[in-house]
Structure 1
Amino acid sequence: MSSDNVLEKTTRVNLLFDFYGPLLTEKQQTFLTCYFLDDLSLGEIASEFAISRQAVYEHIRRAEATLESYEEKLGLAANHERRTELLDSLKESLAVWDPHEGDMAKQQALACIEQLEQIED
Structure 2
Amino acid sequence: MKEENMLDKTNRVNLLFDFYEPLLTEKQQTFLKCYFHDDFSLGEIAADFNISRQAVYEHIKRAEQILEMYEEKLGLVRKFEMRHTYIEQLNEILKYIPLEHQEQAKQTLMSLQNME
Q: Please, what is the CA RMSD of the aligned residues?
A: 1.9
* Aligned residue in 2 for 1:56: 56
The 2-side partners of 1:10 and 1:42 are apart by: 15
TM-score (norm 1): 0.80
TM-score, scaled relative to structure 2: 0.83
Please state how far the C-alpha of 1:99 moved relative to its aligned partner. 2.1
Superimposed CA distance per residue, residues 32-69 of structure 1 (whole angstroms, 9 cap, x where no aligned partner): 00000000000000000000000000000000000000
Instruction: Look up the match of 1:97.
Output: 96
| Structure 2 residues without counterparts, runs of 5 or longer | none
1:55-110 deviation per Cα after TM superposition (whole angstroms, max 9, x unaligned): 0000000000000000000000000000000001101111x21528xxxxx9xx8x
Letter in 1 for 2:4: D
AA aligned to 1:15 is: L
Q: Given residue 13 of structure 1, which amino acid in structure 2 is its aligned partner?
A: V
In percent, how many aligned pairs have the same letter?
Answer: 65
Structure 1 ranges of 4+ moved more than 4 A: none
Count of aligned positions: 103
